[in-house]
Structures are given as structure tokens and as C-alpha cells.
Structure 1
Amino acid sequence: MPAKQQTTAANGSSSSKSPIKTAKKQRVDAPVELVTDVQSEREKKIQNLIVRTTWSVVMIVGFFVLLAAGHFWMITLVLGLQLLAYKEVIALAHEPSRKRTLPYSKTLNWYFLASTVYYLYGDTVLYYFEEVLLVDRVLFPFAIHHRFISYMLYIIGFMIFVSTLEKGHYQYQFMQFAFTHVALFLIVVQAHFIVKNIMSGMFWFFLPASLVIINDIFAYLCGITFGKTPLIKISPKKTVEGFVGAWVMTVIIGIILGYFLIQWPYMICPPSDFSLSAFSEYTCVPNPVFIKQTFLVPQFLQPLLRQSTFFIEPIHFHVINMATFASLSAPFGGFFASGIKRTFGIKDFGDTIPGHGGITDRMDCQFLMGFFSYMYYTSFIATHKQGMDVVLATAMTSLTPVEQMQLVQALQKYLHNQGHIGKEILQCMN
């Protein structure tokens, strides 16, 4: 064979093998790229875990620092979380309005928030500081006409909304109006009752919040351990087994936690001074639910327990009820939030907390639980009696000056007859 033909044959043979070599090279490169992607994904997960863990520690430490600092700082925390959650939720409805030239759309959202806060927290301030407000000439009209002023503020916002309606945007504007009111009720109003819980005693804030967190943790652990049956369509990862298992564990741990909390006067005593902290000396007459009482053992259990009575603080029975709500009802606040996120096609309400999403993602169940705790406390636990501030406010706003003088004279005679003031003091006051 000539040399040229041999060269051509050799080149042809070489070119015929090149696709095979290329394929081999591709097969070698493919696993390398796959390994690189897997490593990159693993690094992202590790980085996300570090961020979540770091901020979890920061939030936990910060929470307990504020808890120990006193009731004022816990109220400040709740107000801050309320504001941030409202901002996140309203931002969802306001996003489409950026493409529309609608006046006052965002301003009205904040105006309705301000008027609602004035009504809710103005009322709370009046309740706890009436003795100061009602003797101040400047603040006195705001105290006795608080509800009327609040209503007129709302009416002004309502009138502005109606006057800014534009043709072609009616449906969107009314939907945003409704969305604003839903956010006000589910976030601002319910957060207001969390503040009232703090003022009733730190126990009624800390325990309900802890029950929600405990339930969330064990719902996850029980779900990944033996969860099989889907619970609700809006949250496919939730299982019946995790739901029930978390209920049982929340009740058990809730009772144990409640036992330790009631030993601490800082937890069970209402705040008498906002300057006090967890390290201050607290003294108060505890609510009867924190004092041991005698209960009868059911007859069918008496042979087993070999006793007919037992001593226990009634609060433990209430903790069972609260833990049951935290397990069976409060999670639906989270399901509701999941429905909103799916409606707007988002993963989280925001990125306020790195690695954890928005404030609303962490507080969706807490608002519902806080409102329930307030209703439960006032219905079954609170000792209803008229305080001095309420009596003083009634006397100052409901009685005429002549009737007020008659009341003062009657109190003087009563105190004299009871031996609390002498005859000389009575004559001097008269």
C-alpha cells in the first residue's frame, strides 16, 4: 500500500475513534459536574443551617434577656413584632398597586393602623393609668371621650377611602380595603390582647407562647418519625400522627413547665411597677389557681390510687386546656398563613429574620393563641373586682361636683367609724 494511502487509512481510523473518545470524555466529565452540583447544594444547605442556627440562638437569648428585663420590655417587643407583621402582610396586598396610579392606597393602610392602635392601646393606657390621666386638665377630655375620638378617626379614614375610589379599579380597591381590615383584626387586635396577658402576669404570656413552640417542635419530630396520614391539603407535610403526637407531648411538657413557673412570683404577679425586673422582689396575693386545693379522686380510681383526695394547684387543669388549644386549634393559624402564601405565590412573608423568613411566619399561631389565652383567663381565672382606679374614674366622670363632695364626706365618716382616722382629722377635713 502506498504511503499516502497508509496515511489516509491511519487518519480515517483515527477519526473513526474520535467519537468514542469524546463519549468517554463526556462520561468522565458528567460525574464531575454532578459531584460539583451536589457539593454546591450541600454547601448551601450547610450555610443555611448555620444561619438558621445562629439567628435561632440570637432570638432565644434576646427573648430571655427582655423577659428578665421586665414587663415594659416584653410589651415593647410585642408591639414591635405587631408592627413588622402588619407591614409584611400589607405589603402583599400593596404590591399590585405599584402598577396603578391610586392615591392614598398605602397611606390609608397606615392611617387605619394608627387609628386602631389609638383605640386599643389608648384604652389600655386609660385602664392602668386612669388615676393620673383623669386629674390632668389637658388629658381629661381624651380620657372620657376616648371611644368617640377613636370612632371619628376611623370615620375620617373611611370617608377618605370612599372619596378616592376610581372607575376601573373598584374591585381592587375594595379587596385591598377588606384585606387591610383582616390584617388589623388578625394581627393588631390579637396582639393587643397579648399585651393584656402580660399586664395580668408574665405567666399568661410566657406559658401560652411556650406551648405553641413546644407543639411546633414535636409536630415536626413526631411527623418525621412515624407520620404517614396527611392532615390537611393546604400543608401536605403535616400528618395526623404528628398532630396527635404533638398534642400529647405538649400537654405533658406544659404541665411540667407550669409547675416550675408558678414557683416564681415574677411570673404569677401582675406588674405593680414598670421599673421592676425578674431580679426584683415581687410580693402579691396569688390568684387562687396558684394555691393548692383539695380535689376528690374519681371513685373508679380510688381502689387503684388507694386514696380519696389529692392536693394540687388548679392551674394544672387549666394548663391542660391551654395545651389542647395550642395543639388542636392554634396550628390552624399557621395553615391560614400557608393559604395566604400559596395565594400570592410566595415562600415566606418576608426576610426580616435571616434563615427564618418573616415575622408573620413565626407569629402566625402566636396571635391566635394570645387571644385565646386572654379570653380563657378573663372567663375562668380572673378574680373580678372593682379596683381603686375604676371606682375613682366612675366617681369623677359619673358624679356631679355636689355628689362627689357627698361621697368624700361619707368616706370620711366611714373611715372615722372604722378607727382609721381620728376625730381631729375628720374635723380638719370637714
Structure 2
Amino acid sequence: MSELRQRLGREPDGAREPEEKEPESENKLDGETASDSESKSEFGGAPPAPTSDDTPEVLNRALSNLSSRWKNWWVRGILTLAMIAFFFIIIYLGPMVLMMIVMCVQIKCFQEIITIGYNVYRSYELPWFRTLSWYFLLCVNYFFYGETVTDYFFTLVQREEPLRILSKYHRFISFALYLTGFCMFVLSLVKKHYRLQFYMFGWTHVTLLIVVTQSHLIIHNLFEGMIWFIVPISCVICNDIMAYMFGFFFGRTPLIKLSPKKTWEGFIGGFFATVLFGLLLSYLMSGYRCFTCPVEFNNDSNSFTVDCEPSELFQLQEYNIPLVIQSVICWKTVRMYPFQIHSIALSTFASLIGPFGGFFASGFKRAFKIKDFANTIPGHGGIMDRFDCQYLMATFVNVYIASFIRGPNPSKLIQQLLALRPDQQVHIFNTLKAHLVDKGMLASSEDA
């Protein structure tokens, strides 16, 4: 018996309660492997800690009696309403202000992602890392914005001598600027840290691809008409809000491991709410020229104008309702704008594919063991946390316009023709006249 008591008093390690010793795999986030752990020592220590509570003190006091779940709900709700109000204000200020806001958001998102890389690898004190990152951001923005100005404001560029020279050699200047940064990077390479420096070189370029390229596409969408800017962004915002609401009140079934709080109930509820919202918002905006007309530069007034004859997309048309639906709603026809049909595609993408931008960001944050990209917006994280789905949406809208909407722009063609030499204009005129005579749209000189 004494021997038995000794054995019971000296239990082996394997008999202990599992809470006393967690397996090593549980100490890591999903997807982290042994190589990830080993790389921590190579990359300079532990990653940054999760962000702390940054809720304003006023809200903390007002919501002190609530549970953390409901407190987070109210904080997110109040800040969401504030951001929506700010969105309405910048829409009222016009497309140029919107373009500047997009650029500011782009710079902030770039700063948040680059800062994560700097915090993870800072122990090596890599020379010129931050300087080169911001230099490459400047180069890429110069290239993209120069292309946009030349494309949309060709007449203005041709009228001003300095702008005409910059436009003519724009791509060569852009390449020279990038080449300078490339040479600076090569000169900054430090022995024993080559691999890490190339990691960070790739980090900077992937960030530029994700952030700058997408923001450039957002601006292109804006110049096609503010409706192509507002409706997609609003659909993503609506889906984010409604998916959160449905998930908060009805969520039971987990959707994806990368985002444990996401549920199927929120995903499906957000989809139907966003499609309905897209149809209603498109109907309201399609009747106003300030939303549907492209942004153009007026030579006479030297200002940007948003005025045109609405295209067929924004003119009410009558559609026959399928017989199956007629028996349910007792309507045979419905009057709607053709753009509303396109809004279904936009809202569907915002609901079904757009969230994958958020899942991608969640995987990125879990890889570096951070809660948010930053703590800029209480309850929401950083600017990148709010725009992770918007960038994916911007690419889709730009591709959608190029594939199904955009056609030749007569005003741009005329601007380019007027910039040609007189002999080139005469040649094009004779070629076009001969083509129209062959088509029978003009009488030939012999018939006259």
C-alpha cells in the first residue's frame, strides 16, 4: 500500500490535466509551422503585440455598464455612423476632393503595412529601408497619376509647355526615377543580411501592388462617373455592416477559420441585404447627371465639369417580368434603369467575393500575430482594416467597365486629333471621308 501511495503521489507528466501544459501547436496561430518559429530568431525577435484598447474615454464611461460584447457593438456602430457621415460630406465636395481623399487613404494604408514590416524586422537596423519604401511610393504615384492626367486632361496638358514636356517623356522619367531607387537598394545591401533585405524589397513592392495600383483604379472608376465610385464602395460598406448585424444577432455557424467571428448567417444575410441596397441606391442616383456623367476638363471655363446627356444606362426603360414571377407579384412589366441590372453584378461581387479581401487581410494579420493593422479608428482598427475589401472591389469595377461598359470616347478622340499637325489632320479627314462614302453615309464629290 505504501508503494501504491508513493506512485499515486508521484504521477507521471502524462497524467496531468491538459490545462497545465498546452501543446506547442496551440501556442501558435493556425498555419504557423516550425520553420515560422525558427525564422523569428533570424528576423529579429517577436512580432509586434496586439493593439491595445483605444476606445475614447467618453465612450468608455458611457458604456461602462455594458458587457464587452455589447460595448464593442455600440462603439463600432457609433464610429460607423461617423464614417458614413464623413463619406457623405466628401461626396458633396466633389470629385477632386474625392481623388485627394483616395490618395490620402492610399498613403495611410501603405504606412500601416510598411510599419508592420519595420516593427517585425527592426532589430537589424536595415539601412535606408523606410527611406527607400517611401521613395518607391513616390515613383509609382508619379507614374500612375501622370498617366491619368495625360489620359483624361489631354487638352490641358498640351496647352501648357511644362506639362507637355513632362507628358512626352513621362515614362522615361518614371523609369529613371525607379532605376535610381533600384541602384540605391543595391548599394544599401549589407553583408550577412542579404536575404532579409531582399525580403523587405519584395515586401515593399507587394505593398505597392496591392495599395497603389488599386487606388489608381479607384480614381479611374471615379472619372467614369461618380456613380461608378459611390455604388461599389457603398455596397462593400453595406455588406460589411449587414453581415456584422446578421452575424451578431443570428450567427451560429462558423464560416472560415481565418476569421472565427464570421458566420454563414452573416455571410448570407449580408448578400441579400447588399443586393437590395444596390438596386435602391442605383435607382436613386441614376436620375442625377452629377452622378452619372464622367468628369471632364472644360477648356472654356478652365475647370472640371460633370455635365452631359445621360447615356442609355441611365434612362428609364420598361422590362418584361418572367412569367414565373408575374404569378407571384401580379406585375407584367417594370420600369428601371439599365444600370440597376449592372448594380446586381456589383453588389453580388461585393457580397460573395469582396469578403475574401478581408479574409486575406485576416490571414496576413494572423501570420504576424497582430489584431489590427493599426489603431487609427477605435473599434475598427486601422485604415487598411476598413479598406481591405475596397481594393479588391476597385479592380473588379475597373475590369467590368472595360469589358462591358466603356466604348470609344468621341471627346477624347477629338482632343487628340486637334493636337496633331495640320497635314496629319488633313490625312485623317480624307481617310474618314472616304470610309463614310464607301458606307453610303456621305455623297461622293462626283455625285455632287
Q: Decide: shared fold, TM above 0.5.
A: yes
Amino acid at match of 1:393: Q
Q: Does 2:181 match 1:157?
A: yes
Q: CA deviation at 1:234?
A: 0.4
Amino acid at match of 1:359: I
Give deviations 1:6-63, integer Å, cap 9, x for gaps: xxxxxxxxxxxxxxxxxxxxxxxxxxxxxxxxx9974795987776555444433222
- Aligned positions of 1:232-271 closer than 5 A: 232-271=256-295
The answer for the alignment partner of 1:385 in structure 2 is 408
- Aligned positions of 1:288-299 closer than 5 A: 288-298=312-322
Q: Does 2:93 match 1:69?
A: yes
Amino acid at match of 1:207: V
Amino acid at match of 1:174: F
Query: Where do 5+ consecutive residues of structure 1 fail to align?
Result: 1-38, 275-279, 415-430
Q: Among residues 136, 148, 155, which one is paired with 1:124 in the alignment? A: 148
Task: Find the residue that maps to 1:236 and give its secondary structure.
Answer: strand
Amino acid at match of 1:265: R
Q: Does 2:360 match 1:340?
A: no
Q: Supply the distance in 2 between the matched residues of 1:296 and 1:57 (Cα, whole angstroms).
A: 39
Task: Find the residue that maps to 1:285 and give its secondary structure.
Answer: coil
CA shift in 2, pair 1:47/1:223, >3 Å: closer
Task: Find the residue that maps to 2:373 and give its secondary structure.
Answer: coil
Give deviations 1:92-114, integer Å, cap 9, x for gaps: 11124432232211111011101
- Aligned positions of 1:70-109 closer than 5 A: 70-109=94-133
Q: CA deviation at 1:405?
A: 6.9
Task: Identify which range, 43-52 or 220-229, moves more after superposition.
Answer: 43-52
- Aligned positions of 1:178-193 closer than 5 A: 178-193=202-217
Amino acid at match of 2:270: A
Q: Does 2:392 match 1:372?
A: no
Q: Supply the distance in 2 between the matched residues of 1:157 and 1:221 (Cα, whole angstroms).
A: 47
CA RMSD in angstroms comes to: 3.2
Amino acid at match of 2:292: I
Conservation of the 8 A alpha-carbon contact between 1:265 and 1:283: yes
Task: Find the residue that maps to 1:231 and give its secondary structure.
Answer: strand
Q: Supply the distance in 1 between the matched residues of 2:333 and 2:66 (Cα, whole angstroms).
A: 60
Task: Identify which range, 137-146 or 250-259, moves more after superposition.
Answer: 137-146
Task: Find the residue that maps to 1:207 and give its secondary structure.
Answer: helix
CA shift in 2, pair 1:186/1:102, >3 Å: same
Q: Supply the distance in 2 between the matched residues of 1:386 and 1:298 (Cα, whole angstroms).
A: 35
Conservation of the 8 A alpha-carbon contact between 1:191 and 1:371: no
Q: Supply the distance in 2 between the matched residues of 1:288 and 1:99 (Cα, whole angstroms).
A: 60
Task: Identify which range, 42-51 or 133-142, moves more after superposition.
Answer: 42-51
Amino acid at match of 1:166: V
| Runs of 4+ more than 3 Å apart | 39-58, 280-283, 294-311, 386-396, 404-411
Aligned-residue identity in percent: 40
Q: Supply the distance in 1 between the matched residues of 2:191 and 2:123 (Cα, whole angstroms).
A: 16
Conservation of the 8 A alpha-carbon contact between 1:395 and 1:404: no
Amino acid at match of 2:356: F
Q: CA deviation at 1:402?
A: 6.2
Q: Supply the distance in 2 between the matched residues of 1:349 and 1:260 (Cα, whole angstroms).
A: 35
Q: CA deviation at 1:76?
A: 1.1
Task: Find the residue that maps to 2:153 and give its secondary structure.
Answer: helix
Q: Supply the distance in 1 between the matched residues of 2:236 and 2:201 (Cα, whole angstroms).
A: 31
Q: CA deviation at 1:213?
A: 1.1
Amino acid at match of 2:197: Q
Q: Supply the distance in 1 between the matched residues of 2:221 and 2:423 (Cα, whole angstroms).
A: 36
The answer for the alignment partner of 1:403 in structure 2 is 423
CA shift in 2, pair 1:54/1:217, >3 Å: closer
Q: Supply the distance in 1 between the matched residues of 2:128 and 2:417 (Cα, whole angstroms).
A: 41
Conservation of the 8 A alpha-carbon contact between 1:289 and 1:381: no
Amino acid at match of 2:288: W
Higher helix fraction: Structure 1 or Structure 2? 1
Give deviations 1:287-328, integer Å, cap 9, x for gaps: 211112344444555666777655432112111111110001
Give deviations 1:369-407, integer Å, cap 9, x for gaps: 12211221222122x1244444443664xx5x5624746
